[in-house]
Amino acid sequence: MDLDLTGRHALVCGASQGIGRACAIELALLGANVTALARRAEVLQQLVAELPRTHAKQTHDFLVADSGDTDGLRAAVEKLVAAQPVHILVNNSGGPPPGPAHGAKIEAFLDAYRKHLVANHTLAETAIPGMQAARFGRIVNIISTSVKEPIAGLGVSNTTRWAVASWAKTLAGELAPFGITVNNVLPGSTHTPRIEQIVAARAGKSGASIAAMQQTMEAEIPMRRFADPAEVAAAVAFLCSPAAAYITGINVPVDGGRTRSL
Ligand code: NAD
């Protein structure tokens, strides 16, 4: 199986921690040159120093940008692709704050759309010409299993994730003739700072301790545990590889079997 990404340039968003960070590591392990994007320069600098190098010509770098600042994001990534075309784009950002849909403020929806749908589209539009020129492109969006089954208490998130999934499916059909694939990875509960927030919010609401709430959530998963970020990143890296050239427009849950639907 051809998993070799030597000579490919991957832009990984939300790379300073959690799933994004794990994706940066996995793609580097497959030989890609990785640009890690997030807001905190010092964290990214440290990550770049630690990213694996599998061959002499492999280089990594970072880009400071905010997915909520559309114009700033576009300007930063336009500069990046002018210097080095992006062949692999991992769209990822912090999840919207928890809370029910009923009562959610309009601004919360707009903010989540800006940081996910609009940011993903801005990044993709900037990167696609370089992918077309290379006749190779991989766009992977980190979304959520809520694409298949909305999750109670994540109203704004559920709504935004569906929009991203529908955008991605449409784009997959449009870009397939150019050798560019567009897929979504849907993490289940994964050990990152994001899941800690969600467990704490649910514990606070129910009066249970954080440990008890985590146990309850783990008991609902057939694997009886949360994922390691590297397990989610492995699916992302495969979808970015040459071996996955004929896979496009799909949603891949990496959730220990939690999603009940097909
Ligand atoms: P996380 O909060 O641990 O990390 C998010 C990353 O995005 C960080 O690097 C953060 O710095 C970056 N980021 C946040 N806001 C940003 C902004 N405005 N601009 C640029 N970068 C920004 O999240 P995670 O757990 O790694 O999850 C990644 C994605 O997967 C999120 O959308 C999350 O909701 C989703 N998800 C996570 C889980 C889980 O259990 N961890 C489950 C389902 C879906």
| For the chain, domain boundaries | 9-188+228-253, 189-226
Query: Is the C-beta atom of 181 inside 6 A of ligand 1?
Result: no
Share of the chain above pLDDT 90, in %: 96
Mutate to test the pocket of ligand 1, among 69, 110, 148, 194 (most ligand atoms within 8 A of CB): 194
- CATH C-level class of 9-188+228-253: alpha beta
pLDDT at 109: 98
Mutate to test the pocket of ligand 1, among 48, 192, 199, 236 (most ligand atoms within 8 A of CB): 192
pLDDT exceeds cutoff 90 at 198:
no
Nearest residue by C-alpha to atom 12 in ligand 1? 14
Average pLDDT, integer, range 157-167: 98
> Residue 201: pLDDT band by 50, 70, 90 thresholds?
confident
For the stretch 44-53, pLDDT in tens is 999 999 999 9
**Separation of alpha carbons 167 and 73, rounded Å:** 19
Residue type, 256: G
> Residue 117: pLDDT band by 50, 70, 90 thresholds?
very high
Query: Is the C-beta atom of 194 inside 6 A of ligand 1?
Result: yes
For the stretch 54-90, pLDDT in tens is 999 999 999 999 999 999 999 999 999 999 999 999 9
What is the average pLDDT value for the chain, to the nearest integer?
A: 97
Average pLDDT, integer, range 194-213: 91
**Separation of alpha carbons 34 and 119, rounded Å:** 19
**Within the chain, how many helices (H) and strands (E) appear?**
9, 7
For the stretch 2-17, pLDDT in tens is 999 999 999 999 999 9
Q: Are 234 and 29 in contact (CB under 8 A)?
A: no
